Structure 1
Amino acid sequence: MSLTNATGPSIGVEPMVQYFRSGAKDFAASTLTLQSTINLLRKDDTTSVATARTQLKACRLQYKKIEFFLEYFFKTSSLIYNTPAKAEIEEPYMEYNEPVGMQVMEALLYEEDVIANKAALLEQVNVIRSSAEDLLSLLYGFTADDKQVLESVRIELIRVYTLGITGFDAPLLKSGITESYEALNAVKVVLAPYLDKRAPYADSVIYYLDKSLWFLEAGKDFDAFDRLRFLRQYALPLQRTLGYMIRDMQLVLNTTGGVLNYSAEHLFSKDAINIDAFPAAGNEKFKSVETFPLSGIAATPALYKFNSPDAFSSTTATVNGALISLGKKLFHETALSGNNKISCATCHRPEKHFTDGLATSVAFDGHSHVRRNAPSLFYAGFQYGQFWEGRIKSLEEQALDVVHNPFEMNGDAAKVLQLPAYTVLFKQVFPDSTVTAEKVAVAIAAFVRSLNPRNSSFDQYITGDTTALSAAQVRGFNLFMGKAQCGTCHFAPLFNGLVPPLYNLTELEVLGTPKNEDLARPLADTDKGRYDVLNISFYEQAFKTPTVRNVSATGPYMHNGAFTTLENVVEFYNKGGGSGIGLETPAQTLSAAPLQLTKQEVADVTGFMRALEDKLP
């Protein structure tokens, strides 16, 4: 076991390992008890079911004490214990995850006939127990250093803030707040050796860590927990001061491929997630023309105004300014279309938050409609797949697909070769001034990546302006991230399908969205979604989870534009999605259990979503 750093003896590796040894033994013991309670399940014995649920919760709490260690150092091994209770293919890596573990058990324990699931429950608990008994074998030949220890806990903080307090892992047990306490308490134990060294900012870290734990312990009621106060007053300051401490100790390590920016103040800072880490192109023909970095596009406010290069603070940003300005001009260029009448802005109108306000956009012929709704382009760069079914990976490829699609623009991206004005503009950006389709796509994509204003009322509130949200909107955030379960698919801080804490994959969901808005008389939609791209059964009707930022300005909603109001969208979820309203949706990933939201709660949730609307220039 390595206990040294490049700069000398380690501080926290050995204490962390000892903590894991103890926690692993306790977790293994709890799985044995869980196995016993499952064996005792009896028909018509509601007490045995309640006991099994209670013990599952206890088992989960023990797991949360060692979660940071397993998830960081032994990710593959952790999948046995806590994967989602649904068949998944995690993209872009194409890793198939068979449902297994405690989340699967939770779902089985809350079905109507629990006893009918006893064999399946025993199968699950046997796998968990046998694996837990061998946890300590993971330490054979284990090596680590302080940088890894500290990165593991800073990632755990993000996991708590985005998944723990939302109940992502245990929506039926509603144990997310207590689980978050255990996970954060583990962070306190692991940080103790560093804090004892009286490192810079140690006092602040101790203060905010203790306050966060106090607040979690005092607010165990999952539905009533004040998540917004927790984040703003305690959790985010903890993340900020811990970052300062790690920086000043010169122990920064980033193994996230640059997706997470550890120089950001906290999770809700504009630069917390690095847009440069997302697919810039699907193949070398695009990469070959990107002879400059794109850094600074995501973090610079209101870049889509492009009034002058003075908006940028460096030579690189000035180059990007020219590129984005070129992209903006091309975005509005009708010469790219086959009839010289249509541009990207036809269906993505800036004054409508880059949508067109239609259920489905008008097609090239001027009277028919394309298959799906035109989503907002705000924050479109923060994804691993474009279009509703994620069939294309990069914004560059998406731009060319739309331009060349006979039903959309039916054009040729290289047509601007015929326009002398573009020769000068391209020369300002590209060393080789030849206009090609690939360069057109790169410029348009750079413009779209700049559409990240983050200036909504919510953004103002979370960064310090406590007058920016109404009391109803504060309640709405807490519902969104709690009882309403919105935050378990629309993940903070972008509120889209980017899965935390690493934000390294984009989630697709099967909701059973109807063809019409009448929830009492729903009609089945025939659009098969991602199944048309990959013929995998549980991809039927699977669509990408879009951001709900600016959702109040970008209706109609869903992939088919079926819903005209936010209230009806929330009510659809409130009733349990397609299955909940009576549609046959065998692969539905959304729980069919009603959320039991009152009319006031629905109003509060939609009120919060309206607070996510960015102000246009």
Structure 2
Amino acid sequence: MVTIKRLLLPGFCLCVLMSLTTFSGSSIGLEPTVKYFRSGAQGFAVATEALQSAVQAIKKDDSASVIMARQQLKNCRLQYKKIEFFLEYFLKSSSLIYNSPAKTEIEEPYMEYQEPVGMQVMEALLYEDDVAEHKSELLEQVNVINSSAEDLLSLLYGFTADDKQILESLRIELIRIYTLGISGFDAPLLKSGIPESYEALNAVKVVLAPYLDKRARYADSVAYYLDKSLQFLQAGKDFDTFDRLRFLQLYALPLQRTFGYMIKDMQLVHNTTGGVLNYNAEDLFSKDAINIDAFPSNAATDTIETFPLSGVAATPGLYKFIAEDAFASYGTTVNAALIRLGKMLFHETALSGNNKISCATCHRPEKHFTDGLANSVAFDGHSHVKRNAPSLLYSGFQYGQFWEGRTKSLEEQALDVIHNPTEMNGDIAKVLTLPAYAVLFKQVFPDSSMKAEKVAVALAAFVRSLNPRNSPFDQYMGGDTMVMNAAQKRGFNLFMGKAQCGTCHFAPLFNGLVPPLYQLTELEVLGTPKNEDLAKPLADDDKGRFDVFPISYYEQAFKTPTVRNVSATGPYMHNGAFTTLENVVEFYNKGGGSGIGLATPTQTLSSVPLQLTKEEVADVTAFMRALEDSLP
């Protein structure tokens, strides 16, 4: 298990990384790619030296020295982006030193801590009220960055890679640009996301040159959309006003599509994402871009999983159940009969202890699979459960279930709810004795006897099928440009830009599934109040994931849900505190719990106000209404 101390020792990292990043295979792109990386790495090292000098020059009550340090950090980030595709793909451990989120990460089940390190940490410190007070911390960070950057070239000793690997590193970088780059995820305070995206995309162009020179099929189209995308990024450098929707629709997504066609035609498709990314999909916003079959259906007990404070990560399942009779593998495609059985069970009141409650009681299809209550009614019929019932739509695209991510799969979640005395207080055996189900179970599971766990398998299969992706936004991205109005278009650009919504609710699912690999689900500490009055907020007593693992960084940590269908699934937040979308956005606008005066020491949401106007808040909510699906 890697600890932060090991990350801070460059010599140790080099030895380990060399053993992990030696590849074999021939490549027409290897030599030019390595040459480009050498040049970029040297440029990055020089930039870290300049940043180091700027930090050393910071003086108390000297705003000019702080501004200079921020400018040097921005330049350092631009240099890093030139080599990001290479570091993130071939030298992943090294990239963690430079550009990790400024949040403490916790590796479960061993509960080892990884303190934040790198440029994102420096950005946060450089925007504190008194930067000079943090000079020693800044120096510690920049010294680590600089010493590691100076050793980067030694990582190339004996390095080889083939065309498939190089091209996959570039296609993943495109997703990184489209989701994290233009949203400002890496540098929300510097607001340098657009020029950073330009540098990252220009690196793609340089590395692709030998492939395009081969005059491969689709090469002309790739070159055209590359140039157009770069021109658009260069012309729209201002972060807050950049037209992300137009960029994606006219240039970026066509580039992704034609690049995919070219790779496929050259027979150089390579997928190291465990099947999470579907390279047969047209583009990132296609319905099948992220493969639901790659998410845990029932986590194997021998996998080591990590749960950073910024996410719940698990080794992706391949729709494989535990190799016991009850969870026998039924392949990678959920068949229609299993889904039909799951839908029947979803509405089956016999699953509850009083024969009155079904899954559909709290997840009503006509209400987009929630119940419209701040807290759902409990089994006794008059009290309420602890938290709000989230919509089940798109819930299969997660690595943890429930608000605090306490179960790893939908199967485990179903069993938890059915057996919970405050929810359904049920006995699955009762359903298994009903004659109608005996026939159905035999049809779906012909190879084994009926067991309670199979009810969970069927329920989970039905829930995984709840992915309509037919909202006005989806139709717009599919080519119907008349379906969204001007406010909704402005709202998307704000959502992915100034409002910073897209830095937690990641495209294309707009939940906490982190791009570009989509292999972990985020939890965040927002400081959500108990009430809706932001002028007189009351502290909430729900400790979130802390109740699962009682460590301070988990206090009030909750999973980031999708905002798809959010206009139809209020009230909002884990406790149903907010009744309107406008109030939710205003809570974020003010800087979360810390911003409205609540003591939230481990808040992961920035407490810096977003400075959204009333009109901008309205536009953001207008866009979220464009994410509402039509249900049968």
TM-score, normalising length: structure 1:
0.94
Partner of 1:51: 68
String of CA shifts for 1:264-320, please: whole Å, max 9, x gaps.
Answer: 00000011000111111135775533442242x5xxxxxxxxxxxxxxxxxxxxxx1
Query: Aligned residue pairs: how many?
Result: 592
* Structure-1 separation of matches of 2:92 and 2:260: 23
The residue correspondences of 1:31-180 to structure 2 (distance < 5 A) are: 31-89=48-106, 96-180=113-197
String of CA shifts for 1:245-270, please: whole Å, max 9, x gaps.
Answer: 00111111100001000110000001
The residue correspondences of 1:461-540 to structure 2 (distance < 5 A) are: 461-540=476-555
Partner of 2:246: 229
Q: Is the alpha carbon distance of 1:376 and 1:4 closer, same or farther for their aligned partners in structure 2, counting shifts above 3 Å? A: closer
Counterpart secondary structure, 2:82: helix
The one-letter amino acid paired with 2:625 is: R
Question: What residue ranges of structure 2 are gaps of 5+ in the alignment?
Answer: 1-17, 302-320
The alignment status of 1:593 with 2:608, answered yes or no, reads yes
Partner of 1:209: 226
Partner of 1:273: 290
Contact 1:512 1:578 in 2 (8 A): yes
Partner of 2:437: 422
Partner of 1:382: 397
* Structure-2 separation of matches of 1:282 and 1:594: 40
The residue correspondences of 1:7-26 to structure 2 (distance < 5 A) are: 9-26=26-43
Q: 1:571 aligns with which of 576, 586, 594?
A: 586
Alpha-carbon distance, 1:140 to partner: 1.3
The one-letter amino acid paired with 2:252 is: A
Q: Is the alpha carbon distance of 1:558 and 1:3 closer, same or farther for their aligned partners in structure 2, counting shifts above 3 Å? A: closer
The one-letter amino acid paired with 2:543 is: K
The alignment status of 1:329 with 2:344, answered yes or no, reads yes
Contact 1:261 1:273 in 2 (8 A): yes
The one-letter amino acid paired with 2:81 is: K
The one-letter amino acid paired with 1:148 is: Q
Contact 2:571 2:577 in 1 (8 A): yes
Q: 1:186 aligns with which of 193, 203, 211?
A: 203
Contact 2:368 2:569 in 1 (8 A): yes
Counterpart secondary structure, 1:209: helix
Alpha-carbon distance, 1:143 to partner: 1.9
Alpha-carbon distance, 1:91 to partner: 7.2
The alignment status of 1:247 with 2:264, answered yes or no, reads yes
Q: 1:292 aligns with which of 297, 306, 330?
A: 330
Counterpart secondary structure, 1:328: helix
Alpha-carbon distance, 1:414 to partner: 2.3
Contact 1:580 1:592 in 2 (8 A): yes
CA RMSD of aligned residues (A): 1.6
The one-letter amino acid paired with 1:137 is: S
The one-letter amino acid paired with 1:593 is: V
* Structure-2 separation of matches of 1:225 and 1:146: 34
* Structure-2 separation of matches of 1:200 and 1:90: 45
Partner of 2:378: 363
Counterpart secondary structure, 2:524: strand
String of CA shifts for 1:394-427, please: whole Å, max 9, x gaps.
Answer: 0001000000000000001222122100111111
Partner of 2:11: none
Counterpart secondary structure, 1:204: helix
Contact 2:60 2:132 in 1 (8 A): yes
Q: Is the alpha carbon distance of 1:468 and 1:261 closer, same or farther for their aligned partners in structure 2, counting shifts above 3 Å? A: same
Partner of 1:308: none
Contact 1:3 1:145 in 2 (8 A): no
* Structure-1 separation of matches of 2:610 and 2:293: 37
Q: Is the alpha carbon distance of 1:206 and 1:180 closer, same or farther for their aligned partners in structure 2, counting shifts above 3 Å? A: same
* Structure-1 separation of matches of 2:22 and 2:389: 54
Contact 2:24 2:160 in 1 (8 A): no
Contact 2:102 2:120 in 1 (8 A): yes
Alpha-carbon distance, 1:168 to partner: 0.3
The one-letter amino acid paired with 2:120 is: Q
Partner of 1:311: none
Contact 1:403 1:410 in 2 (8 A): yes
Contact 2:87 2:95 in 1 (8 A): yes
Q: Give the fraction of aligned pairs with identical amino acids, expressed as a percent.
A: 81
String of CA shifts for 1:354-391, please: whole Å, max 9, x gaps.
Answer: 00000000000000000000000000000000000000
Contact 1:567 1:603 in 2 (8 A): yes
* Structure-2 separation of matches of 1:599 and 1:40: 40
Counterpart secondary structure, 2:520: coil
Question: What residue ranges of structure 1 are gaps of 5+ in the alignment?
Answer: 298-319
Alpha-carbon distance, 1:95 to partner: 7.1
Counterpart secondary structure, 2:224: helix
Q: Is the alpha carbon distance of 1:322 and 1:344 closer, same or farther for their aligned partners in structure 2, counting shifts above 3 Å? A: same
Alpha-carbon distance, 1:89 to partner: 3.0
Contact 1:279 1:384 in 2 (8 A): yes
Alpha-carbon distance, 1:88 to partner: 2.1
Alpha-carbon distance, 1:229 to partner: 0.5
Contact 1:286 1:438 in 2 (8 A): no
Counterpart secondary structure, 1:207: helix
* Structure-2 separation of matches of 1:613 and 1:92: 37
Q: Is the alpha carbon distance of 1:321 and 1:513 closer, same or farther for their aligned partners in structure 2, counting shifts above 3 Å? A: same
Contact 1:290 1:442 in 2 (8 A): no
Contact 2:23 2:160 in 1 (8 A): no
Partner of 1:197: 214
* Structure-2 separation of matches of 1:291 and 1:135: 44
**Greater Cα offset, 81-90 or 595-604:** 81-90
Q: Is the alpha carbon distance of 1:265 and 1:90 closer, same or farther for their aligned partners in structure 2, counting shifts above 3 Å? A: farther
The alignment status of 1:546 with 2:584, answered yes or no, reads no
Partner of 2:367: 352
The alignment status of 1:341 with 2:326, answered yes or no, reads no
The one-letter amino acid paired with 1:292 is: Y
Contact 2:23 2:159 in 1 (8 A): no
Counterpart secondary structure, 1:106: helix
Alpha-carbon distance, 1:542 to partner: 0.1
Counterpart secondary structure, 1:587: coil
The alignment status of 1:261 with 2:278, answered yes or no, reads yes
* Structure-1 separation of matches of 2:469 and 2:109: 26
Counterpart secondary structure, 1:509: strand
* Structure-2 separation of matches of 1:90 and 1:565: 36
Alpha-carbon distance, 1:532 to partner: 0.8
